[in-house]
Structures are given as C-alpha cells and as structure tokens.
Structure 1
Amino acid sequence: MLYVITGPPAAGKSSYIEARAKPRDIVIDLDRITRALTGPGAPQWNHDPIASKVALRARYAAIDEAVKHLQDVDVFLIHTMPSEVWLARYRRLGAEIVTVDPGEQVVRDRVRAMRSSAMDRVVTRWYRHYRGGSPRPATAQASREW
C-alpha cells in the first residue's frame, strides 16, 4: 500500500510514519534523503539549494522505483503540498492520502522553536491552500515531544 503523508512543516509527518512503518517498509522523506546526501554537521532541515536539488532528484527516482513494489512492501511518502497532478497520480496508484495537522498554532510554535524563519512562509502557504474544505481527511496527530 502507498501512504502519502501530507501536512504543514513540523506537523508530525515523520512521527506519524515512525509510529506505523515496519522495518521492511519504504519511507521516502525529502528531509531524510537530504541528510543522507550531505556531509557531517549539515543542519537537520537543510535547505541549501544544491543539496535540495540533488535530494529532490533522488526522491523522484525513489518514488518511481518504490511504486513498482507495492505488492511486497508498504511505501510511506511524505509530500507536504502535493499538486493536483501528483494527487491524481497517487490516487491512480491506490494511495491512501493522510493529512497530519495538529493545528496552526502548534505548527507555528514548533517552526519558531526548531526551523528557519523561511519555513513560516511555507506554513502560511499550506494553511491558505488547505484550510476549510480540504478534500482530504485531516488527522490531529500528536507527535513526539518537541
């Protein structure tokens, strides 16, 4: 099964997956991919343009390969703000779309505490796009202690 996990930055998407994925499952998370491709001491949420570009290409390749194995393993894919084109592709693959959203104030507090100020713009964009009438189910996900 393909699980596409959406939600604003710092919502608990990774924690949601950690609570559900089994060791053999495939987890495709752009943050994890970027960390794997950068050197020691790189920030946990690295937004260096070159590292981001390389990681994004690796993510696309991972998605393309992982969906070939959905009969054998579950695939958990974090996609913060999928476009309608991506959502259509995921639905064609029979994906379960899960939105993790503990609430805007919780997200903003976490971003202020842990992420760069640039992430605040992403939070604003996410809530403008998905607030009120999101066609996807929302999950008030309690995540790890921050």
Structure 2
Amino acid sequence: MLYVITGPPAAGKSSWIEARARPTDIVIDLDRIALALAGPGAPQWLHDDRLLKIAHRARFAAIDEAVKHRDQLDVYLIHTMPSPKALAKYKRLNAKIITVDPGQAIVMQRVRDMRHAGMTAVATRWYRLQAKRPQGQTTGRQTSRDW
C-alpha cells in the first residue's frame, strides 16, 4: 500500500509514520533524505538549495522504485503540498492520502519554536491551499512527539 502523508510543516507527519511503519516498510521523507546526504552536523530542517536539489532528485528516484513494490510492503511518502497533478498520480496508484493537521495554532507555535522563520510562510500557504481543496482523510488533533 502507498500512503501519502500530507500536512503543514511541524504537524507531526514523521511521527504519524513512526507510529505505524514497520522496519521493513519504506519511508520517503525529503528531510530524512537531505539529512542523509548532508555532511556531519548539518541542521535537521534548514537545507542549502544545492543539497535540496540533489535530495529532490533522490526522492523522485526513490518514489519511482518504491511504488513498484507497494504490493509487498507499505510505502510511506511525505508530500507536504502535493499539486493536483501529483494527487492525480497518487490516486492512479491507489494511494491512501492522509492529512496530518493538529490545527493551525499548534502548527504555528511549533514552527516558531522549532523551525526557521521561512516555514511560517509555508505553513500559512498550506492552510490557504487546504481551505480550497480537501486532500483526503484527516487524522485530526494528535500528540505526535514531545516538542
């Protein structure tokens, strides 16, 4: 099964996956990929544009290969704001689209506490887009991890 996990920055998408994925499942998370490609001591969420370009290419390759195996194992893909084209592709692949959103007030506080200032704009944009189009099952408020 392919699970596409959407939601604003700092919503708890990774924690949602950690609570469900087995060690044999595949998790495709741009932040984890970038961190794996970065040098020692690199920040967890603020990546250089060159590193992000490389990480995006690795992510696309991982997606292309992982979806071939979704009948044998679960594939969890974090995609914060999938475009209509990406959503159509995921639907063709019979993906289950999950939206993790503990609420705008909680997300904005987490972004202020943990992320760089630019993530406030990303979270605001996510909520504006979300208001325009429902993206699947919403998990609702959840405790994701100790912040």
Residues 12 and 145, structure 2, Cα contact 8 Å, conserved in 1: yes
The 5 A counterparts of 1:108-119 are: 108-119=108-119
- What residue number does 2:29 align with? 29
- 1:115 positional shift: 0.3
- 1:4 positional shift: 0.2
Aligned partners of 2:48, 2:98: CA distance in 1, in Å? 28
- What residue number does 1:145 align with? 146
- 1:47 positional shift: 2.4
- In structure 2, give the amino acid aligned to 1:139: T
- 1:133 positional shift: 5.4
- 1:49 positional shift: 0.2
- What residue number does 2:16 align with? 16
The 5 A counterparts of 1:79-98 are: 79-98=79-98
3-state DSSP class of the match of 2:144?
coil
Aligned partners of 1:81, 1:25: CA distance in 2, in Å? 23
- What residue number does 1:39 align with? 39
- What residue number does 1:130 align with? 130
- In structure 1, give the amino acid aligned to 2:36: A
Cα RMSD for the two superposed structures: 1.0
- In structure 2, give the amino acid aligned to 1:144: R
Normalising by structure 1, report the TM-score. Answer: 0.97
The 5 A counterparts of 1:100-115 are: 100-115=100-115
3-state DSSP class of the match of 1:77?
strand
3-state DSSP class of the match of 2:44?
coil
Alpha-carbon distance change, 85 to 108 in structure 1, aligned in 2, over 3 angstroms:
same
Residues 34 and 46, structure 1, Cα contact 8 Å, conserved in 2: no
- 1:137 positional shift: 2.0
The 5 A counterparts of 1:63-82 are: 63-82=63-82
Normalising by structure 2, report the TM-score. Answer: 0.96
- Structure 1: runs of 5+ lacking an equivalent: none
- Structure 2: runs of 5+ lacking an equivalent: none
- In structure 2, give the amino acid aligned to 1:36: A
3-state DSSP class of the match of 1:9?
coil
Aligned length: 146
Aligned partners of 1:58, 1:139: CA distance in 2, in Å? 28
